[in-house]
Structure 1
Amino acid sequence: MGIFELLGQREFLISVLAAISAAAVVFTFGSSFIVKSEMKDRIKRVALEREKMRAEEMSRLRGTATPTDARSIRRSGETKTYMKNVVERFDLRKAFMDDATVDKLAMAGFRGQGHLTTFLFMRMATPLGIFAFAALYLVFLNPGERPLYLNLVYAIGAGLLGSFLPAILLKNSTTKRQFSIKRAWPDALDLMLLCVEAGMSMEHAFKRVAKEIGQQSVELAEELTLTTAELAFLEDRGRAYDNLGRRSGLDGVKSVMTALIQADRYGTSVGQALRVMAEEGREQRMMDAEKKAAALPPKLTVPLILFFLPVLFIVIIAPAIIKVFGPGGVAGG
């Protein structure tokens, strides 16, 4: 039996998919028991961002026309040469990039031109790869009784569906990151308020809170550390606050950053603004918990009807049925 015939068998494909599913389940549950420390890698990336901003600021102060080349600073963010060549040759920035693409990547934790180039390359390569795989399988490995044009139509449909895969994965990463930041943000506000009332400046408060909140949310610690670097090197402090709100994409973070911008611009009390925002954050977290608790009974209705009630009826009615239809019963006698 040739390899093409083996790949075309339905039993072989079912076995392969079952093995992949089992491996995915084992990896999913096994990864939860493995403690992974991502703090060092994230802080290293933030340090590279800090060095980049420092180099740009020194370049600006010296009056240099062009900023320092970021490739010598951000090696981890560099993409493969072939990706960059493909993006430039086919002008993928014009085809797939809009005004919100950079912000969406930043909300998912991907910053810099390297991640942007990789995302644009995947937007083109993913549908083409899925189309080639589907065409190879449907036309050569398992054509079936379908005509050739119908198999090609199916392959094109798979490619069109694959074009949404990079955006879906990006959205998934953004959702996970925002959930982590949103969960730890009220605690970070309380710590920030304590630091400010203790006499710390905002730079030192952000730095201290980033160090303490890292055990609860590595993503929030990364963003606060990056904001600390921006407060140190950017001319406008309001720009650093606005960048934090834009990278997070959360309304709660944006409202706090707007309050800090207004306090810095008009000279109002930063501690008072943080106190009000911290109280609103705690109330919002309580409201979210109450909302989840109120949504629990409707969610339990369908499982209750499908799984609990049939078992309950069997337990209650089964003895009576056995007694009636069994030996010596009314129907059995």
Structure 2
Amino acid sequence: MLHALSELLRVDTLITLLFSIAAFAAVLSFAAPLMQDDPLKARMKAVSVERDRLRAEQKIKGLGESKLRDKRNAGAARRFVDILNLRKVFEAETSRELLRQAGLRSERHLILYLVARVGFPIGMGLLAFGYVSIIYADTASPQMLIAATAFGLIAGNYLPYLLLRNLVTRRQASIRRAWPDSLDLMLICVEAGMAIEPAMQRVAREIGAISVPLAEEMTLTVAELSFLQERRKAFENLGKRTGLAQVKSVVTSLIQSERYGTPLGTALRVLAQENRDMRMSEAERKAAALPPRLTVPMMLFFMPVIFVIIMGPVFLTVSKLLF
């Protein structure tokens, strides 16, 4: 055993091992992009499914029947939601709006989210109770078990909402970053004589390389403009699905242009300039906040190294003279 360990710790063996790891990492870095799926293609496929759902829903409404529901979800989860009336308990429309902002539009996503709002507290409460009962079996008092269970219940109650809110925040950040560029592209298309639908379709194709969520939302808006009876509703849905003030201001201008026939190019030019200024102001604000944030890391990591470099030779010289 000691002989094998000494052979492993030899310099030439370690050098060979390090070179092997470096070669594997280099091959992996080149091969990883080739093995990844195209996120834009997957999202556009999901949008096509949503477009088909909208078409079927409008067809059902045209026949005077009730609103179309996703029949694929008629399973145990749906029955569980219906029995406990979770749609009313957790305000299904508010949850549905939040799920749409996260890019989850299917009825199945709503069912799973409502089930998670019930299942997570129970599961984490039982997990906390079992953990304390097993790890602290000798010292755990009833009050300690009750406190741990209550903590698990509270954490489980907020965990699904926090996870969903994190998805919404990341998605909104992607849309916010690419929105000024999309307005510039839309302005070019509109001033070139294109209508709003082909302009948004073209922008969705071009902006997908920067922000897949924004391309998805604009493609879905084009589909709604084709199927919904009120075009104003399609623009309002775009603002609701994104939940961003920048998008809602542009949506208001588009609705006014559709209703009153005002020049859309002029409004888009002003809004594009405002969004560029807002993005620049946000970048300047982050740059101004950078020095205070760097103070603590510099004191913890840079200053000790500088002291060692400056004072190290002095200490070595003094130690040689003294000893």
TM interval, shorter chain, is 0.7 to 0.9
Q: 2:176 aligned with 1:182, yes or no?
A: yes
Q: CA deviation at 1:98?
A: 5.8
Q: CA deviation at 1:65?
A: 2.4
Q: 2:305 aligned with 1:327, yes or no?
A: no
Do the aligned residues in 2 keep the contact of 1:130 with 1:158 (CA within 8 Å)?
yes
Q: 2:151 aligned with 1:157, yes or no?
A: yes
Find the aligned partners of 2:92 and 2:247 in 1 and give their Cα distance. 24
Q: SS of the residue aligned with 1:162?
A: helix
Pair 1:69–1:299, CA change in 2 (3 A): closer
- Who is 1:39 aligned against? 40
Spell out, residue by residue over 1:173-228, the C-alpha distance to the aligned partner (whole angstroms, 9 max, x if none): 00110111111111111111111111111111111111111111111111001000
Pair 1:327–1:67, CA change in 2 (3 A): closer
Letter in 1 for 2:64: T
Identity score, percent? 44
Report the count of equivalent residues: 294
Find the aligned partners of 1:209 and 1:304 in 2 and give their Cα distance. 44
Greater fraction helix: 2
Structure 2 residue corresponding to 1:125, chosen from 110, 119, 128 = 119
- Who is 2:129 aligned against? 135
Q: CA deviation at 1:289?
A: 1.3
Letter in 2 for 1:205: A
Letter in 2 for 1:222: E
Q: CA deviation at 1:290?
A: 1.1
Q: CA deviation at 1:263?
A: 1.2
Do the aligned residues in 2 keep the contact of 1:59 with 1:67 (CA within 8 Å)?
yes
Can you give the 5+ residue segments of structure 1 that lack an aligned partner in the other structure?
1-28
Letter in 2 for 1:81: G
Q: Decide which moves more: 37-46 or 199-208.
A: 37-46
Structure 1 residue corresponding to 2:94, chosen from 96, 100, 106 = 100
Q: CA deviation at 1:160?
A: 1.4
Q: CA deviation at 1:163?
A: 1.3
Q: 2:302 aligned with 1:301, yes or no?
A: no
- Who is 1:207 aligned against? 201
- Who is 1:172 aligned against? 166
Find the aligned partners of 1:123 and 1:33 in 2 and give their Cα distance. 36
Find the aligned partners of 1:69 and 1:302 in 2 and give their Cα distance. 55
Pair 1:296–1:176, CA change in 2 (3 A): same
Can you give the 5+ residue segments of structure 2 that lack an aligned partner in the other structure?
1-27
| CA RMSD, Structure 1 to Structure 2 (Å) | 2.2
Find the aligned partners of 1:69 and 1:117 in 2 and give their Cα distance. 12
Q: CA deviation at 1:306?
A: 1.2
Q: SS of the residue aligned with 1:328?
A: helix
Do the aligned residues in 2 keep the contact of 1:42 with 1:222 (CA within 8 Å)?
yes
